[in-house]
A and B are shown apart, each in its own frame.
Chain A
């Protein structure tokens, strides 16, 4: 198991050091600094073995978190734990920075004592941690409160405490998708997938039981086969259901139920959390198409023309559109002409950045640029990095639709109808690249 956990600043000075196992000595702290943080070359692996000691590290801005062990630990678990640790710290004091860590070091030690015991991760849900790890000290807790804390920390529903009350029962559903594309210069899709998340903010009283439904092809086909659905339902099912390649759920979701019935049922944590993640690869709506044309005119000039086409309903508007066209390192000057938005050559980033605030569906826009090059005797060819794009669209490129979210709370007197529900779809670009 994890033998120790260290946090360093960018200089390699140790900010937090907590050792859990006897086999990890003080010299481990220095070994990591010397061999990884101060190493000349780029990090070649997130796992480093130095003198039979293994170091796992992640970086958040310029802070290094390193877990150390001498045993054959579950490596995936160690990384998951390090991410979780970052989440927990972020939810306590915001950004993970040197200053914040120094200012909260007592709190961090307290957290490390609680969420890692002898190197074994323990309950790390911020919701329940915050009930008893506070910087105020736990004074005046009654016996009931204490046992409520412990039963929550160890309980089956560690993510939600009892006795939550809201005057207004409300929930917000965000379907956030990032659409990823790799396209060849000829416009052939090399790979495309959507990775989506369903993020929920719930403000519900009591211990509500929720059921979430979406246009999952498997469910809809199943219902269709059953023959109970009416004609209208059947006709939509063929078109509007989507094939989900794979999905993962928040720990509140009953996985065995999903496995057997493919229904998503759960008791939600309070406040904001991620309900599920999913991935689709079929019938993706690619909101934009990028058509590049790069011509080398002699050895000192490049002509670039890029056309972007929006490919969704004309009534919808895409926002925050940005096209990034890489330029060679020996660029000496750039002239740009674009039909819409603003374009600028950014020498420090070696790219032309073209920004458009808004663009409706089924439109087209174009940029052309002339790039002057300094003559070099560098034999190596310019690697021509792909043209990348950023945007935001008000629909889910995967085609996912939320069909229902039902709330049942048998003990309190509110019903599904009393809950105010909001749904929003946002599609963003992930890595959206076209080679040129």
Chain B
């Protein structure tokens, strides 16, 4: 109780206080000194600046009182950085302490030294650390292992130079399990900042060592080891199974983190096991009980567990399908646990348990917490959509809830009823009357929009639909965009259904949307409707009243690639946030994306695996806005403007491309390969071209395909591609793959300004919507008359691709040889004159190594890429080839290639008025000659 006085509420230390402390610190009496240091630490804790006492505190360091020493160390760790010069004063004591007879003091010294982030001190740390890493006492070794990670954080180079990494690796074979565990932790951390270093060097032998240590070390050590194991990829299913067998006992550990880390390893390695293996189903059964047990932990851990279970249920629904009851919400659960449980309940809902689930959800809908009640109401709607047999009961439950007149319950119920209408059209219209009664109480945009959608969709059955919609129209400009868009669409629907009475209304809304609105989305949609209605009402009807695709039952699913990554991060923050580490971790750590291993066996029955559980069939998600049509028309990026005609050299006409492309498509009977080149008029339609898909070309090794836009970065859209020049036209060959769960439509492409004015010569030809897991190949002809801006590197191209989901950006580099035009052969005289004319400063010389062609072969090969040989000269056994290249923008490049018989190394000199291109041109030479 005496110590309470240390915590004085003063915001800063006064000069007097500092003075007093100084005197006490320098006192002869040990007790007084210690008390003074305690006061200093107390001030430091509450954030007061006591750095002025640095020399006095450091003076107390030389003591055999361990408690005092620890306090001084604590002070040092805090202030050494701000007083680096004075911190050096402490070095001697540290070095001495590292040699102390007492292992506790040796460890304390090495532990503290690693925490002092002062460059000068780290130099002194190396020798003591080296000794401590080989100390006879395991306590010192385990502390030294962590110290290597500390030092690496301060000065990575130093750690590598001093060879500490190798010593650390050796510690993995240490006889003491705790040393092993700390060494694993330190290595894992260091490896994270060197993604490709293979520092951990996991192989069957080292894995075996880790598994042995796993049985013997502390609970924390087990976590380090399991987390490290999870990064390993077994060589085959047998190894995978044997690791699983040795990890499963951990599922009975009292520490939830050990259990979750073990679950992570098992979930990951299970991927490699053949599904028909007995062990596979045994393992699945073993996973459920420990996951359920996690729910009897403290609430914070329950929360972590539930967030993870949410992932596990999405990945492998079979594990917990019989455990619905344990996710029932308890009255006293903290709200964060309640919300997560609810989420999992919806995921586990099935025909078998729906009655129970509904009864529960109804209970929850009468609770107090608004968020929870809303989610419960929404859950009832989800059940209706997921389990058809329960739909009727769900709807009547929702109607009961609407009768309570609790405002937010009513609004939430209306939003979900709209989804139910989408799933079961023309089935529950009888409830519309009840819904309309609550029109006035709706004040949230989502609920208003949902109601308006319902009115528009069933306009022919609602007698006063026009009045209802008109009532919303009065405050049109005060509504949110969501409601405005919905109202516009609903009134157009109404007009198409009852054209006679509603002409005035539709005109009113169209003019509100197009003339009085600043919102481009709204205006554009208004214009589209307007033009559709005025030019072709029949087409308008077909478009606006088109049958909508059914919404799928699974909702809010995490996109598969992300889910896979999150499964690899079970137990960690990423799995709590449901975000990849790169989304919340700064710097280089965690940037590496983890993936699940692929199944190693060649078992042909992949189909059975997919058929086993419904969610694997990649269901699509309800679009966030109820009206899919609305989304379709919701163009926010104009299609690329075809700037000018294609290069005259080609003689191609792009005008008919659209039609022909589509027409040919259906003619040949393939739906996903549109090759405009094949459809070029004036060229015979060669079926070979059509079938020649990019993938086959890739396997020929002629073109190298690159992933330009990984699915991770583009909400599931993966784009890979390459460039080609065919018959004088530059083609950008794209492979679009939809790795998300919803259909992608409305593709468009645009380039940023670039060095050579590349621009799409036509729209991106993706005629059919791209379904989940579908791939489409597209050839995009490019023109070179677009706007020009110098890029770095010169051949860099920044591309924006848009689809119905978003706009994505990526950049890629094209080989400059794409720009070498066919009429690039110079007259000999002109060549000579030009060569002389270009200043020598512009000449650059390069070496091409390991090229075994003779000069003639090289010449003909280069000609294929529009690099023309003008003359050849032989001097003393050395062939000199003179060549010319013309770029699409009219720049000439002259070259002299020297080939010595028998010498695989060529020398090339390039001369050009724009010497920037030389490097790129040289790369082309290299690529062409070596291929």
Which A residues contact B (CB, under 8 angstroms)? Answer: 1, 13-17, 19-23, 26, 29, 42-47, 49, 52, 54, 56-58, 69-77, 79-83, 99, 102-103, 105-106, 109-110, 113, 117-118, 120-125, 132, 135, 137-138, 141, 143, 146-147, 149-151, 153-156, 158, 182, 184, 190-191, 193, 195, 245-251, 254-256, 258-259, 274, 276-277, 279, 379-381, 383-386, 388, 431, 433, 435
Instruction: Knowing A14-B45, A383-B367, say if A80 contacts B301 (CB, 8 Å).
Output: yes
Is the Cβ of A259 less than 8 Å from the Cβ of B252?
yes
- Which chain B residue shows the least CB distance to A70? B586
Give, as a whole number of angstroms, the nearest-CB distance from A83 to chain B.
6
For residue B325, CB closer than 8 A to chain A, the reply is yes
For residue B530, CB closer than 8 A to chain A, the reply is no
Contact among B142, B331, B404, B575 with A386 in the assembled complex (CB-CB below 8 Å)? B331
- Which chain B residue shows the least CB distance to A244? B289
Contact among B254, B571, B573 with A54 in the assembled complex (CB-CB below 8 Å)? B573
Give, as a whole number of angstroms, the nearest-CB distance from B622 to chain A.
25
Contact among A105, A379, A386 with B42 in the assembled complex (CB-CB below 8 Å)? A105
- Which chain A residue shows the least CB distance to B150? A118
Instruction: Knowing A54-B573, A150-B138, say if A120 contacts B368 (CB, 8 Å).
Output: no
Instruction: Knowing A16-B45, A274-B254, A279-B292, say if A147 contacts B298 (CB, 8 Å).
Output: no
For residue B256, CB closer than 8 A to chain A, the reply is yes
Is the Cβ of B406 less than 8 Å from the Cβ of A255?
no
Query: Roughly how many angstroms separate A388 CA and B332 CA in the complex, as a whole number?
Result: 11
Interface size class of B (residues with CB under 8 A): 35 or more
Instruction: Knowing A14-B46, A106-B41, A156-B216, say if A79 contacts B149 (CB, 8 Å).
Output: no
Is the Cβ of B179 less than 8 Å from the Cβ of A76?
no
- Which chain B residue shows the least CB distance to A69? B573
Which chain A positions have C-beta within 8 A of B66? 137-138
Which 4 residue pairs spanning A and B have beta carbons closest together? A246-B289, A150-B139, A76-B257, A259-B249
CB under 8 Å from chain A, chain B span 166-214: 176-179, 182, 185, 189
Which chain B positions have C-beta within 8 A of A184? 359
For residue B443, CB closer than 8 A to chain A, the reply is no
- Which chain A residue shows the least CB distance to B108? A113
Which chain A positions have C-beta within 8 A of B215? 254-256
Contact among B227, B300, B406 with A46 in the assembled complex (CB-CB below 8 Å)? B300
Is the Cβ of B253 less than 8 Å from the Cβ of A77?
no
**Pairs across A and B, CB under 8 Å, 23 listed:** A14-B45, A14-B47, A47-B576, A49-B577, A74-B572, A79-B257, A103-B3, A105-B3, A105-B45, A125-B218, A149-B139, A150-B140, A154-B139, A190-B360, A245-B289, A246-B252, A247-B293, A248-B293, A251-B218, A277-B293, A380-B406, A381-B404, A386-B331
Give, as a whole number of angstroms, the nearest-CB distance from B188 to chain A.
10
Give, as a whole number of angstroms, the nearest-CB distance from B61 to chain A.
15
Which chain B positions have C-beta within 8 A of A105? 3, 6, 41-42, 45
Which chain B positions have C-beta within 8 A of A21? 153
Is the Cβ of B47 less than 8 Å from the Cβ of A379?
no
Which chain A positions have C-beta within 8 A of B577? 47, 49
Number of A-B contacts (CB under 8 A): 282
Contact among A42, A57, A73 with B335 in the assembled complex (CB-CB below 8 Å)? A42
Is the Cβ of B185 less than 8 Å from the Cβ of A120?
yes
Is the Cβ of B67 less than 8 Å from the Cβ of A191?
no
- Which chain A residue shows the least CB distance to B253? A248
B232-274 vs A, CB cutoff 8 Å, 1 = contact: the mask equals 0000000000000010111011111101110000000000000
Query: Roughly how many angstroms separate A385 CA and B1 CA in the complex, as a whole number?
Result: 44
Query: Roughly how many angstroms separate A79 CA and B260 CA in the complex, as a whole number?
Result: 12
Is the Cβ of A80 less than 8 Å from the Cβ of B367?
no
B311-333 vs A, CB cutoff 8 Å, 1 = contact: the mask equals 00000000000000110101110
CB under 8 Å from chain A, chain B span 1-27: 1, 3-4, 6-7
Contact among A22, A109, A247, A259 with B117 in the assembled complex (CB-CB below 8 Å)? A22
Give, as a whole number of angstroms, the nearest-CB distance from A150 to chain B.
4
For residue B589, CB closer than 8 A to chain A, the reply is yes
Give, as a whole number of angstroms, the nearest-CB distance from A79 to chain B.
5
- Which chain B residue shows the least CB distance to A16? B45
Query: Roughly how many angstroms separate A26 CA and B48 CA in the complex, as a whole number?
Result: 11
Query: Roughly how many angstroms separate A129 CA and B14 CA in the complex, as a whole number?
Result: 38
Query: Roughly how many angstroms separate A141 CA and B101 CA in the complex, as a whole number?
Result: 11
Is the Cβ of B406 less than 8 Å from the Cβ of A1?
no
Which chain B positions have C-beta within 8 A of A109? 41, 70-71, 74
Is the Cβ of B45 less than 8 Å from the Cβ of A379?
no
Is the Cβ of B253 less than 8 Å from the Cβ of A117?
no
Is the Cβ of B249 less than 8 Å from the Cβ of A258?
yes
Is the Cβ of B178 less than 8 Å from the Cβ of A154?
yes
Query: Roughly how many angstroms separate A120 CA and B143 CA in the complex, as a whole number?
Result: 11
Is the Cβ of A79 less than 8 Å from the Cβ of B300?
yes
| Of listed A70, A110, A153, A388, residue having the most chain B CB within 10 A | A153
